């Protein structure tokens, strides 16, 4: 049976399209030699696109853990956009979104993955049915994806199997103390994002006249 097509479904379809296109552009670009799957942005986009495609095919019903997977993907996409806007772009040689030598594929990937797609992913999350519980530990359960990424890529970098793609997470560049402080700040940001998104979704999903 084909799932009904409503506003949230169309938002999800457009978000999945932009996320997928952005990931493809990142693989096609010739500016950055770093393997795309080492980037949190690319991995978060893949996860979020997979979740949206699954919802388009099978409908929104996925149970509590399916909703947490979806919520964690949303947190990842928003976090990658925030980090790019507040840390990476301002510290780049150009001081803007695009590097001076970025090719068209790289510029398109940046625009889609850090600009357009996150807006659509959040919009779809907020207007679609909410199946997350009101438990206080719910935001922590949505933080698993950023933690898993850091554990895997951090281990690869520590073992010299790969290079950490984010300089602000490289102890050899900034020292152990500053990197630990950065991880703590990122962890707090992730939890704040998860709490804000779940609270907003529950409030928007509350029937008219209902009270907290």
Instruction: Choose among 102, 106, 112, 32: nearest CA to 77.
Output: 112
Token pair of 50 as six digits? 């997979």
104-163 pLDDT, tens digit per residue, is 999 999 999 999 999 999 999 998 876 666 667 888 888 899 999 999 999 998 898 999
Rg (CA), the chain: 18
Please tell me the predicted confidence (pLDDT) of residue 107: 96
Q: Structure tokens of 191?
A: 């939890």
Q: pLDDT band at 93, cuts 50/70/90?
A: confident
pLDDT at 61: 66
Residue 149's alpha-carbon distances to 76, 146, 155, in angstroms, are 10, 5, 10
- For residue 207, pLDDT beyond 80: no
Q: pLDDT tens for residues 49-84?
A: 999 999 888 877 667 778 889 999 999 999 999 999
How confident is the prediction for the chain on average, in pLDDT?
Answer: 87
């Amino acid at each position: 049976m084909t799932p009904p097509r409503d506003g949230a479904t169309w938002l999800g379809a457009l978000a999945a399209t932009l996320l997928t296109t952005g990931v493809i552009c990142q693989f096609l670009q010739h500016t950055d030699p770093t393997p795309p799957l080492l980037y949190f942005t690319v991995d978060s986009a893949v996860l979020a696109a997979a979740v949206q495609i699954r919802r388009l095919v099978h409908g929104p019903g996925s149970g509590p853990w399916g909703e947490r997977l979806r919520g964690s993907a949303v947190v990842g996409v928003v976090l990658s956009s925030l980090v790019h806007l507040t840390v990476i772009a301002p510290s780049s040689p150009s001081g803007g979104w695009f590097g001076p030598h970025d090719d068209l594929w790289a510029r398109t990937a940046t625009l889609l993955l850090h600009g357009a797609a996150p807006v659509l992913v959040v919009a779809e999350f907020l207007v679609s049915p909410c199946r997350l519980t009101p438990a206080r530990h719910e935001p922590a359960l949505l933080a698993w994806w950023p933690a898993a990424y850091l554990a895997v890529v951090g281990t690869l970098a520590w073992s010299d199997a790969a290079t950490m793609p984010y300089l602000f997470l490289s102890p050899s560049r900034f020292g152990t103390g500053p990197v630990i402080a950065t991880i703590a700040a990122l962890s707090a940001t992730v939890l704040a994002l998860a709490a804000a998104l779940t609270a907003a979704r529950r409030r928007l999903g509350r029937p008219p006249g209902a009270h907290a």
